Each structure stands twice: as structure tokens, then as C-alpha cells.
């Protein structure tokens, strides 16, 4: 077949990685599909900017429209980022009759269904493996390899920045601010890290995975989200003492009455596979009705891992064009599955309270829980360092519903036997004695 001409929009970390991978493969293997992939133009904001890779100046342009509308370009690789700008680029490319490969999770999560349907109407294809998990081929696994399964649940560490911060807090005893500062110095966190540490990035990714896994339409607005910025080193110390690790988990579960979708810091047993995912790595745990539990692990971000997925999509596109197959993917909305409100969540809880060190404290707290049908599994009480007459109370509950638990916390805030509710965390899994 003739060459497949690529117009790439963006030459930052990911775009530079795509250039490196393609150039290396062309040197190593002058065979299909590498011998037909050719980057013809690259759209950038500033052609004079110094770059990570040496690219012929003739390939660079600030005129994005000239790339999208060129009759000589077959596919647009969108690696510029940004939700609204990315959507404009991709929709314009589709309307111009171009196939699209993108790493933009924000766009796919927010506008995916609209774009897939537009692409179908225009007879072009969209590939987006790099939007979740970077080099981990999780989207292809869900779309193809696990198609015979009804997916029961997904539990995943999907943000390398948050995982790096929590790992430093766990292993080095650093507080959140110190660990975040190190992540920023190493380039793992942006100067404004909110999307990572507040769970927004992971929410986009679990939106995409849930849509595919459960054959339904999921919006980022459907995901309950909490960040890791409230996690204290004290919580991590207690978690270790109790046999747990704290991770930011993205969780999607299918119930008879709807989907449970949430992202938040979570206590998990230190013996679990996800607890062993350290640093900037991602881990994705999936349960299918036929295959049972499966675990996927790897770098979830970075120039070359993300580029690996982008180039893999390009190869899939080339093969589908060669054999005439329809590689287009559209989320098959078989059912509009309702989203369960977070108040219906049933799980175990960790609560850390600052209380007066006097008799009757636990009885008052136990009464609040008891009145709302919440059973206490364990209690740890310690003196608060450098204080007089104060104690720290850590309570683990048995399984309870989120709604009554929130009521309990609200009532405790008003008790004269509670100085302050310091923190609460949800628990996934039980530590084996």
C-alpha cells in the first residue's frame, strides 16, 4: 500500500516521543507497517522554540488548518492536549475526512460518544489507546480481549503523580506538601497540580474505562471525586499499623441497580496487588465473569510509554486500511445504566478523631453509630503528643452505607466528647489476621 501520511498536532513530551519511536522503528525495520508511516507536517504554537528532538524545520507549521485541510494528510495525531481545544482539533479533522489518533483523555471522556458518532458518519476512524494507562494496553484489552466477559468491577491506580506522592509519604514519612514539592521538582507534577492531586485526571480515565467495560455512556460528572490533598502522614502511620496502605483508587462496579463510580484515597490491605504499585506506575485490576480477576501494571505516563500507545494505534490503523476492515470503535450503548449516588455506597470506614481524654468519650461516639445502624469493628486510642488532656481515637467500622455514615460524622462534629473529626477514609478489602 501507499504511504500513510501523518499530520501531528503538538510536539511536547508525547509528540516528541512519537517522533522518536517512529524514527527508531524506521531505522530498525524497513518493513510493513513502518515503511508506510510518514510524518508530513507537525503543528506547533511556535516554530522557533527549542525542542526535545531534532525535526526538520520544513515539517513545522503554526497553521493547524493547513494540516487538517491538506489533501495529502491521511491521519491526524492529536497530542497537543487540552479539553476544548483538543475537541475542536479532532472534530475539525473528522469533518475534513481524516482518521484520528489521540492521547487526549479529557476529550474522549467528555466528548467521546459525540466524536465516535461523527466519525462513523464521515467514514473515518478514531483510536485512543494512549488516553488511559499510557503504555498499558488496557483499552484494547477491554474492547477486544475481554469482549466475551461481563466486566464486574475495575479498581485502578490511574494517576502516577498522586501515586508518587503517596508512595513518598508512605516510604519516607514526608507530609503531603513535601512530597508534592519533590514531585514538582522531578517533573512528575505540574506547577498547578490540581488535576492530579484532586482526582480529576483519574476521573477522566475511569470514565473512559467504564464506558467501554459496561457498554454504556458515562460522563466525568458521574464520577464521585475526592483528592489526596487531605491525606495526613498520621493517617498513613495508622494505616500501616492496621495493615493497610493508602492509595488513590478509581473504582467502577456494576450492581443490579446501577454503576458505582468513584475516585478517592482508599485504604487497601498491604498484601494486595494494588498496594505494591509504587512511584509513578499505574495498576489496573479487572474482574470479568469468565476470566476472573486480572491485573495490569506499567508506566501510566511519560513521553515514550504514551508514544508507544500512539504508535500502536497508528499501526492498527494502517492494518485496517490495508485489509479493508472497520477498525472504528464506538461505545455500544446497550443500556443507559443508571449511576448510583455515593450515598448508596456500602463499604468499611476509617475515622480519626481528636477527643478529650476522659471517660464516656467512646460511649458517646458508639451511641451515634449505633443509632444509625453502624457497627464498630475496632478502636485504637493514643495520647496526642505535646498536648494535655487530648487523645486520638481511630475507629474502623464494619460495612456501612455512606449516607448513614455521613450523618454520623455530622453528628459527631457537634458532640461535646469530640474536639474534631480529623479525617475519614473508605476501606477496600479486609486485612487477613
Q: At which of 288, 323, 358 does a domain end?
A: 323
Question: Is 178 part of a structural domain of the chain?
Answer: yes
Residue 261 maps to a domain? yes
Pair (295, 147) in one structural domain = yes
Whether residue 243 sits in one domain with residue 267: yes
Measured CA to CA, the distance from residue 428 to residue 27 in angstroms comes to 48
Q: Are residues 201 and 77 in the same domain?
A: no
Segments forming the whole domain that contains residue 167: 138-299
Q: Note the pLDDT of residue 1.
A: 63
Same domain, 308 and 236: no
In a domain, 395, yes or no: yes
Alpha-carbon gap, residue 247 to 167, rounded angstroms:
9
- Strands 244-255 and 258-269 turn out to be antiparallel
| Same-domain pairing of 208 and 126 | no
Half-sphere exposure of 43 (CA within 13 A, CB side): 21
User: Which residue of the set 41, 98, 125, 205 is catalytic?
Assistant: 205
User: Distance (Å, rounded) from C-alpha 368 to C-alpha 151?
Assistant: 38
Q: Is residue 333 situated within a structural domain?
A: no
The answer to whether residue 334 is domain-embedded is no
Q: Is 276 part of any domain?
A: yes
80 with 142, same domain: the answer is: no
**Domain contains 330:** no
289 with 160, same domain? yes
C-alpha to C-alpha distance for 11 and 14, rounded to whole angstroms: 7
282 and 165 in a common domain = yes
**Domain end: 323, 355, 370, which one?**
323
**Is residue 387, in this structure, part of any structural domain at all?**
yes
Q: Please list, in sequence order, all residues whose beta carbon lies within 8 angstroms of the beta carbon of residue 107, skipping any fewer than 6 positions away.
A: 78, 83, 86, 87, 90, 115
pLDDT of residue 432: 62
242 and 121 in a common domain = no
Task: Return the pLDDT at 406.
Answer: 98
Is residue 128 domain-shared with residue 188, that is, in the same domain? no
H or E segment to which residue 212 belongs: helix 200-213
Q: Are both 82 and 190 inside the same structural domain? A: no
pLDDT tens, N- to C-terminus, the chain (433 residues): 678 999 999 999 899 999 999 999 888 877 788 888 999 999 999 998 988 899 999 999 999 999 999 999 999 999 998 999 999 999 999 999 999 999 999 999 999 999 999 999 999 999 999 999 988 999 999 988 998 999 999 999 999 999 999 999 999 999 999 999 999 998 888 889 999 999 999 999 999 999 999 999 999 999 999 999 999 999 999 999 999 999 999 999 999 999 999 999 999 999 999 999 999 999 999 999 999 999 999 988 888 999 999 999 999 999 888 776 655 555 555 668 999 999 999 999 999 999 998 888 999 999 999 999 999 999 999 887 777 889 999 999 999 999 999 999 999 999 999 999 999 999 999 876 5
Number of structural domains found in the chain:
3
Quick one: pLDDT at residue 387? 76
Is 382 annotated as catalytic? Answer: no
Q: In terms of domains, do 289 and 194 share one?
A: yes
Q: What CATH number corresponds to the domain at position 230?
A: 3.30.360.10
pLDDT of the residue at 393: 95
- Looking at residue 11, its pLDDT comes to 94
323, 358, 378 — which closes off a domain? 323
Task: Name the pTM for this structure.
Answer: 0.93
Place of cell 475495575: 154
Radius of gyration, alpha carbons of the chain: 24
Q: What CATH number has the domain bearing residue 110?
A: 3.40.50.720
Helix-helix angle 160-172:233-242, to 10 degrees: 70
Amino acid at each position: 500500500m501507499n504511504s500513510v501520511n501523518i499530520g501531528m498536532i503538538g510536539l511536547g513530551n508525547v509528540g516528541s516521543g512519537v517522533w522518536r519511536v517512529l524514527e527508531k522503528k524506521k531505522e530498525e525495520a524497513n518493513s510493513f507497517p513502518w515503511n508506510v508511516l510518514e510524518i508530513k507536517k507537525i503543528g506547533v504554537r511556535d516554530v522557533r522554540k527549542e525542542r526535545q528532538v531534532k525535526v526538520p524545520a520544513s515539517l513545522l507549521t503554526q497553521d493547524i488548518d493547513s494540516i487538517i485541510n491538506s489533501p495529502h494528510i491521511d491521519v491526524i495525531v492529536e497530542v497537543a492536549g487540552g479539553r476544548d481545544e483538543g475537541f475542536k482539533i479532532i472534530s475539525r479533522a473528522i469533518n475534513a475526512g481524516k482518521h484520528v489518533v489521540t492521547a487526549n483523555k479529557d476529550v474522549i471522556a467528555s466528548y467521546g460518544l459525540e466524536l465516535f458518532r461523527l466519525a462513523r458518519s464521515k467514514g473515518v476512524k478514531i483510536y485512543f489507546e494512549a488516553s488511559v494507562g499510557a503504555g498499558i494496553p488496557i483499552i484494547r484489552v477491554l474492547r477486544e480481549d475481554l469482549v466475551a466477559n461481563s466486566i464486574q468491577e475495575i479498581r485502578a491506580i490511574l494517576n502516577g503523580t498522586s501515586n508518587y506522592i503517596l508512595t513518598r509519604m508512605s516510604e519516607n514519612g514526608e507530609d503531603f506538601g513535601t512530597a508534592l514539592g519533590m514531585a514538582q521538582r522531578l517533573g512528575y507534577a505540574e506547577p498547578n497540580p490540581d488535576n492530579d492531586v484532586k482526582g480529576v485526571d483519574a476521573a477522566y480515565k475511569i470514565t473512559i474505562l467504564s464506558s467501554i467495560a459496561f457498554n454504556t455512556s458515562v460522563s466525568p460528572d458521574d464520577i464521585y471525586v475526592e483528592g489526596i490533598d487531605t491525606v495526613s502522614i498520621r493517617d498513613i502511620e495508622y494505616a500501616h499499623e492496621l495493615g493497610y496502605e493508602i492509595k488513590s483508587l478509581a473504582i467502577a462496579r456494576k450492581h443490579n441497580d446501577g454503576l458505582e463510580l468513584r475516585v478517592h484515597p482508599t485504604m487497601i490491605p498491604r498484601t494486595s496487588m494494588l498496594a505494591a504499585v509504587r512511584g509513578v506506575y499505574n495498576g489496573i485490576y479487572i474482574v470479568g465473569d469468565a476470566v476472573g480477576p486480572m491485573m495490569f501494571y506499567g508506566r501510566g505516563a511519560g513521553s515514550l510509554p504514551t508514544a508507544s500507545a500512539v504508535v500502536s494505534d497508528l499501526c492498527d490503523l494502517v492494518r485496517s486500511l490495508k485489509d479493508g476492515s472497520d477498525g472504528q470503535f464506538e461505545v455500544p450503548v446497550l443500556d443507559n445504566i443508571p449511576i448510583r449516588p455515593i450515598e448508596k455506597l456500602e463499604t468499611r470506614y476509617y475515622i480519626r478523631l481528636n477527643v478529650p481524654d476522659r471517660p464516656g468519650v467512646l460511649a458517646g461516639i458508639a451511641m451515634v453509630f449505633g443509632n444509625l445502624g453502624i457497627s464498630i469493628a475496632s478502636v485504637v486510642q493514643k495520647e496526642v503528643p505535646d498536648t494535655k488532656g487530648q487523645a486520638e481515637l481511630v475507629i474502623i467500622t464494619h460495612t456501612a452505607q455512606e449516607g448513614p455514615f455521613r450523618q454520623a460524622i455530622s453528628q459527631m462534629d457537634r458532640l461535646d466528647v469530640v474536639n474534631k473529626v480529623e479525617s475519614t477514609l473508605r476501606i477496600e478489602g479486609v486485612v487477613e489476621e
